[in-house]
Amino acid sequence: MLRIGLTKLSGDKMKKLGFFVIAAILISCSPMVVNYPSVCPNNDAKCQRNLDAQTLAIIGQTEAAEQLMRTDPAIGLLIGDCNGG
């Protein structure tokens, strides 16, 4: 029955159907990259601070990320040196 139905399709419709089938196969076979948020081991405060600062920077809150990183005195000194302060 399927063969009978396909023979009634015009050449243009057949090309569109073929394109759709190929696209569906390629999409279903393509690997999907899923990014999970990183997790710090053993509730490591420095690791969590770094991840939070990275997240802030990614969403465009660079000033907030910089302020968060300044909570570590060593990093605060380095950031101050880079900014001329």
Domain boundaries, the chain: 41-82
pLDDT of amino acid 9: 60
pLDDT in tens, 22-76: 777 767 766 766 565 667 888 888 989 999 999 999 999 999 998 999 888 888 7
Task: Evaluate if pTM is beyond 0.75.
Answer: no
- Helices and strands of the chain, counted as H and E runs: 5, 0
Q: SS3 breakdown of the chain: % helix, strand, coil, rounded to 5?
A: 70, 0, 30
pLDDT of amino acid 58: 92
